[in-house]
């Protein structure tokens, strides 16, 4: 019983911490990795808040925790994991287009997954301390998720879609410098992205 109480208490404290942190942000900027990133401001006026949200980003506490603090949302919780509509996925903070719906697929990971970005230099990649490749919005620096080399097989994808893979996408999967890179069985990258870091815009 005490184990359940402790687990519930820990979850409550984590959620409370996210909400407190989100509400504590004020108009300012923060320097992360040498780059200035805009921090969203809070407001008690609903009209000003709605206007600012439209221009600069989201007020969802989970989105703020993911984008600004690098949190990872629980698997299987994002509605975008199950979405199949045509359109594009943009950064929930700055609205920069990141992924086309044509590159979204069911990876079985529990998070929205994509095998290519929408255009050159939209998603920045950097090796993390734990060896994983972190994906961030190249415009605002918001944390999106991570990239892995176990995406869908090249031979199972539309040829025309493969021809539009941005040059700045990672050199893993079919772009790897090896004989396997030309094989239909070679794999594309898997962008494993937090749904809370995205917003969907219909085509």
Using a 10 angstrom Cβ sphere, with 0-12 exposed, 13-18 middle and 19 or more buried, the burial of residue 177 is exposed
Q: Give rounded-to-5 percent helix, strand, coil for the chain.
A: 35, 25, 40
Q: Is 192 a catalytic residue?
A: yes
Letter string b/e over residues 33-62, b meaning 16 or more CB atoms within 10 A of that residue's CB = eeeebbebeeeeeeeeeeebeeebbbbebb
CA distances from 94 to 88, 136, 162, 165 (A): 14, 12, 27, 23
Cα dihedral 46/50/14/106 (nearest 10): 150
CA distance 121 to 180: 26
Contact of 112 with 195, CB cutoff 8 Å: yes
CA distance 116 to 57: 23
Q: Which of 91, 137, 140, 192 is catalytic?
A: 192
CA distance 131 to 148: 11
Annotated catalytic sites, by residue?
192
């Amino acid at each position: 019983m005490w184990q359940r109480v402790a687990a519930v208490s820990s979850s409550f404290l984590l959620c409370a911490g996210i909400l407190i942190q989100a509400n504590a942000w004020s108009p300012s900027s923060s320097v992360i990795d040498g780059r200035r990133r805009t921090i969203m401001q809070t407001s008690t006026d609903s009209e000003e808040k709605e206007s600012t949200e439209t221009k600069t980003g989201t007020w969802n506490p989970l989105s703020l925790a993911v984008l600004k603090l690098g949190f990872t949302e629980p698997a299987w919780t994002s509605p975008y994991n199950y979405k199949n509509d045509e359109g594009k996925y943009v950064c929930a903070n700055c609205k920069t287009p990141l992924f086309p719906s044509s590159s979204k697929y069911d990876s079985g990971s529990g998070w929205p997954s994509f095998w290519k970005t929408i255009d050159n230099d939209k998603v920045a990649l950097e090796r993390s301390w734990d060896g994983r490749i972190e994906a961030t919005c190249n415009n605002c620096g918001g944390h999106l998720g991570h990239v892995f080399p176990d995406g869908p097989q090249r031979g199972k994808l539309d040829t025309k879609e493969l021809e539009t893979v941005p040059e700045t996408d990672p050199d893993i999967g079919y772009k790897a410098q090896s004989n396997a890179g030309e094989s239909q069985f070679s794999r594309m990258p898997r962008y494993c992205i937090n749904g809370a870091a995205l917003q969907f815009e219909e085509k």
